[in-house]
Structure 1
């Protein structure tokens, strides 16, 4: 890590992705704004287009993977449907709510392919153009630190999958490389928003502020405290849910289905997906983003199907077709209709914010970041709901770049985060002697019983490097290795490894050196839970490091 010269932050988002870089000797942050097919935007679409049904090679990625507006006379059809929203497969959504993927394509391959394209084409180009000119001979695999931002609701398994995908994308040379670090999206945004605090004269140690990261798929929240030395502490558990901006788009599609019929939209999606996407983008740019929620500001929007999606006419039948022909293929979007697209989504976000604010501590400011934070209606509703509790509710400049720029700042100084709040209770499985009073049915071989032994409770504020562990002694005289099962639970404690809600995370494997010493040996193993990834450490009785590995069950 001492050889790191360049930090690259990657914001791999549900609908849009971006990255930024900086050199340690001159930590000015450069946010990429040149992408395939488009210039001047801070992010590009998280979309892939493969060139065959075997998904062997990526044909297009980013914006070009989505088809453009079709001519009224020429039927345009993409060679295959683009792959999108594949990041949602890493979240804890029910399987029936995860976006379908083509048969034969695993979501992990899609993620790795996308990250590889971004790394090979964009990241290396920007490093070459902006860094290598001043600091030549940068070795990507040895001197570049990659920080990936992840949603707050991602669990250990999701982060491990992302690490594996980053390795397959050749962003790191070994799967367990420390050149890849993680930061949660709201945490990265909070780091970036420290400068915004100064603009509002909120520089006192102890100032609390809430970050609401409104992305395309997810909304993540974290409440932070300003500590001495401009460091940040976390004072409540990170929260999040699937209620980002794309869920407004889904409400729009539901409305269209009521107007043109389910079958018409389904056929459009199957056979002319590019035109469906173009229609959604037209809705976003001309209706969704400008919508303020103020009725007198709203002008009736006429969705001209012949203009934005001409091919849909051939899929509409029956009474719906007769009505649309009479209306010259125009569908009116009035104020109440558009508002109905927003309200279910905004309601979820408001409930998430309430949960963060109802912790008994004063919150001096709230900052909305992410693409959906540009919604004027969302900001209006949040201010109406919470202005009595929080005096400063604002959207910083370029909210889309807040996360990726904060990720760079974190990579330049990872000590900037001092504490985090644990979302789970962690512990290990032990097998002590069964004794009278223990449940008879839990008695196992050798007169033992499996129990859950807590290491740290949910809700605990921990330093990022704080260690939790126990002393171990050999159970047999010539033992050379030891293994331990690690569990987590949403409860404050647990009794047995099979308690309701208990989840086995993986296994801690330790070397037990010096077998010639027999039973006269002791190991001290520790786990750190304050980092985004769980880390394992172990020393013997002489304080020397012992090989320790924490293997997640994927």
Structure 2
């Protein structure tokens, strides 16, 4: 990736969050900033980070308000205002991100009439793109060519490749990139990886040496992502090793809001008449809730007069609802999901303890979540740290990755990869299974893969019987029972490889073909060795949804092939000139 940095002058990092969004502009190649432009930035040796947030370092709400009978729409705080002021003349959209890959869609607000998820996302991203592209030349007057901009987004660990492709398609519609751009122009990385980079960056007091183990819990508004990393300071490295399969689930703080609404409904109270109580819950109870002395810090208990005068704040109740009932029905079901995911993380590292546990994200600031984690896993955590400004961890970590790439020395695969020795359209006769339908597992979910490691498989090649190899992924959770002949719904096509190599051997002679695959952070590289010759394929970007056939090239062809090409060129020159 470091070589790619020279191609671009600016990196725009986008944080499209469940509850709030923002962006950050990075100066990658030492552009001279405009001294007369007023902005907040962190100056480093290689970059300037420009923060585009609202006052108090808060991001814009991820909300939209569409005007009825009009193409006009508002976003963020203006959308929130318009949804109240003109509620009968518009359609309001919130928590949009949860619709991408959220399993509990029954809990989500209704999608605005006559719209689609892709439109909602692209409309919001379009606002960010216009603002970022307007700000950049003002900050750096010499950088007016937007083709010199690259972009980075972070995606929840739980998202499928299909969900990531929705974001890529929305970015195309919004005008960030075109479908003809190289996939590397829009980088999509896991949120938990970005959070890990920021957490380590913000914790100089915690000494992590080579081999140190630390877990990151990025608890946001919509999703909670978990992963465990090992510090890798081996010679020539300053990177991370993933040592567990990253986990994610829809159990962020908005699900506390959903469950609190359920409590109100259970009391027979109409939700539309209780909006002010839901807002008071989010502003005054949720950020401070606990069942210990931490509740003494809660403003609603210490300040009887608040902006919500019609809400009854009792010493141990919220509008007449006992706090313990709120704990049981609202907080515990959500927090328990986080603890269960964390339990699985610890199970993957055996009897090892973690040297540090980093908590990031807006939900990560919850004192109740923090205490439950300490009570449950405290004996396995050497140091526990809640990252300050943790709601900004994902965008700040993604910015660090763009500005100064650090190698992910080892990844744990989150999907199983396998091949079929045929094209996707080449199927055997109905109700029969043949070798061409068989799914050959290449590498399994959960296996560690190093950046410089090639995974090899050998197979017998014949010119007429092995013309195409298709690479697929298998995403089922029951990875121990991978079907030998999966259905089309079980697997997803990644890429197709043309293997009609022009060899000097006779067509009917079998050859041993060695296929090598290297799985990177967001790309797959493929090479083939056959008949003492080496072929390479164009890089497959595993998040770009490419389904076309990859053609091969031969970097070092044998002398006989070079002579044939020279003869062909000479013959064509004589024939056509």
TM-score by length of 1: 0.79
Question: Is 1:396 paired with 2:387?
Answer: yes
Equivalent pair of 1:300/1:334 in contact (CA under 8 Å)? no
Equivalent pair of 1:369/1:402 in contact (CA under 8 Å)? yes
State the distance in 1 between where 2:267 and 2:51 align. Answer: 40
State the distance in 2 between where 1:167 and 1:129 align. Answer: 24
Equivalent pair of 1:488/1:504 in contact (CA under 8 Å)? yes
- Unmatched tracts of structure 2, length 5 or more: 31-44, 313-317, 423-428, 548-577
Following TM superposition, by how much is the alpha carbon of 1:508 offset from its aligned partner in structure 2, in angstroms? Answer: 2.2
**Residues 503 and 92 of structure 1: is their aligned pair in 2 closer, same or farther, counting only changes over 3 Å?**
farther
Following TM superposition, by how much is the alpha carbon of 1:538 offset from its aligned partner in structure 2, in angstroms? Answer: 4.9
Written as runs of structure 1 = structure 2, the 5 A alignment for 1:334-353 is: 334-340=322-328, 341-353=330-342
Following TM superposition, by how much is the alpha carbon of 1:93 offset from its aligned partner in structure 2, in angstroms? Answer: 1.1
Following TM superposition, by how much is the alpha carbon of 1:467 offset from its aligned partner in structure 2, in angstroms? Answer: 4.0
State the distance in 2 between where 1:14 and 1:510 align. Answer: 38
Question: Is 1:118 paired with 2:128?
Answer: yes
Following TM superposition, by how much is the alpha carbon of 1:100 offset from its aligned partner in structure 2, in angstroms? Answer: 3.0
Following TM superposition, by how much is the alpha carbon of 1:193 offset from its aligned partner in structure 2, in angstroms? Answer: 1.6
State the distance in 1 between where 2:50 and 2:277 align. Answer: 29
State the distance in 1 between where 2:435 and 2:183 align. Answer: 39
Aligned to 2:492: 505
Aligned to 2:161: 156
State the distance in 2 between where 1:429 and 1:362 align. Answer: 41
Equivalent pair of 1:508/1:548 in contact (CA under 8 Å)? no
Question: Is 1:357 paired with 2:371?
Answer: no
Aligned to 1:166: 171
- 3-state DSSP of counterpart to 1:423: coil
Written as runs of structure 1 = structure 2, the 5 A alignment for 1:230-241 is: 230-241=238-249
Equivalent pair of 1:538/1:548 in contact (CA under 8 Å)? no
Question: Is 1:213 paired with 2:218?
Answer: yes
Q: Which one of the candidate residues 81, 87, 91 is aligned to 1:67?
A: 81
Q: Which one of the candidate residues 44, 47, 59 is aligned to 2:63?
A: 47
Equivalent pair of 2:157/2:248 in contact (CA under 8 Å)? yes
State the distance in 2 between where 1:300 and 1:147 align. Answer: 40
Equivalent pair of 2:458/2:513 in contact (CA under 8 Å)? yes
State the distance in 2 between where 1:429 and 1:309 align. Answer: 66
**Number of equivalenced pairs:** 499
State the distance in 2 between where 1:384 and 1:260 align. Answer: 35
**Residues 303 and 464 of structure 1: is their aligned pair in 2 closer, same or farther, counting only changes over 3 Å?**
farther
Written as runs of structure 1 = structure 2, the 5 A alignment for 1:177-192 is: 177-192=183-198
Aligned to 1:437: none
**Residues 345 and 148 of structure 1: is their aligned pair in 2 closer, same or farther, counting only changes over 3 Å?**
same
Equivalent pair of 2:358/2:384 in contact (CA under 8 Å)? yes
Following TM superposition, by how much is the alpha carbon of 1:22 offset from its aligned partner in structure 2, in angstroms? Answer: 1.9
- Unmatched tracts of structure 1, length 5 or more: 269-274, 313-323, 325-329, 432-439
Following TM superposition, by how much is the alpha carbon of 1:213 offset from its aligned partner in structure 2, in angstroms? Answer: 0.5
- Tell me which moved more, 250-259 or 502-511: 502-511
State the distance in 2 between where 1:64 and 1:526 align. Answer: 53
State the distance in 1 between where 2:204 and 2:512 align. Answer: 51
State the distance in 2 between where 1:534 and 1:443 align. Answer: 35
**Residues 448 and 192 of structure 1: is their aligned pair in 2 closer, same or farther, counting only changes over 3 Å?**
closer
Written as runs of structure 1 = structure 2, the 5 A alignment for 1:284-363 is: 284-294=282-292, 297=296, 331-340=319-328, 341-358=330-347, 359-360=349-350, 361-363=352-354
- Tell me which moved more, 511-520 or 282-291: 511-520
Following TM superposition, by how much is the alpha carbon of 1:454 offset from its aligned partner in structure 2, in angstroms? Answer: 1.3
**Residues 91 and 552 of structure 1: is their aligned pair in 2 closer, same or farther, counting only changes over 3 Å?**
farther
Following TM superposition, by how much is the alpha carbon of 1:279 offset from its aligned partner in structure 2, in angstroms? Answer: 4.5
Question: Is 1:245 paired with 2:250?
Answer: no
Following TM superposition, by how much is the alpha carbon of 1:409 offset from its aligned partner in structure 2, in angstroms? Answer: 1.2
TM-score by length of 2: 0.76
Aligned to 2:550: none
Equivalent pair of 2:238/2:406 in contact (CA under 8 Å)? no
Aligned to 2:136: 127
**Residues 96 and 32 of structure 1: is their aligned pair in 2 closer, same or farther, counting only changes over 3 Å?**
same
- Residue by residue over 1:243-282, the C-alpha shift from the partner in whole angstroms, topping out at 9 and shown as x without a partner, is 1001111122112223453xx22x55xxxxxx83x65333
- Tell me which moved more, 229-238 or 168-177: 168-177
Following TM superposition, by how much is the alpha carbon of 1:465 offset from its aligned partner in structure 2, in angstroms? Answer: 5.6
- Residue by residue over 1:294-349, the C-alpha shift from the partner in whole angstroms, topping out at 9 and shown as x without a partner, is 26726876999x97599x9xxxxxxxxxxx9xxxxx93344324423212111111
State the distance in 1 between where 2:489 and 2:358 align. Answer: 35
- Residue by residue over 1:141-189, the C-alpha shift from the partner in whole angstroms, topping out at 9 and shown as x without a partner, is 2x22211101011111111221111111111233653111111111101
Following TM superposition, by how much is the alpha carbon of 1:85 offset from its aligned partner in structure 2, in angstroms? Answer: 1.8
Equivalent pair of 1:429/1:497 in contact (CA under 8 Å)? no
Question: Is 1:101 paired with 2:111?
Answer: yes
Following TM superposition, by how much is the alpha carbon of 1:111 offset from its aligned partner in structure 2, in angstroms? Answer: 0.9
Equivalent pair of 2:83/2:91 in contact (CA under 8 Å)? no
Written as runs of structure 1 = structure 2, the 5 A alignment for 1:452-463 is: 452-463=439-450
**Residues 300 and 109 of structure 1: is their aligned pair in 2 closer, same or farther, counting only changes over 3 Å?**
closer
Equivalent pair of 1:422/1:530 in contact (CA under 8 Å)? no
Following TM superposition, by how much is the alpha carbon of 1:368 offset from its aligned partner in structure 2, in angstroms? Answer: 0.8
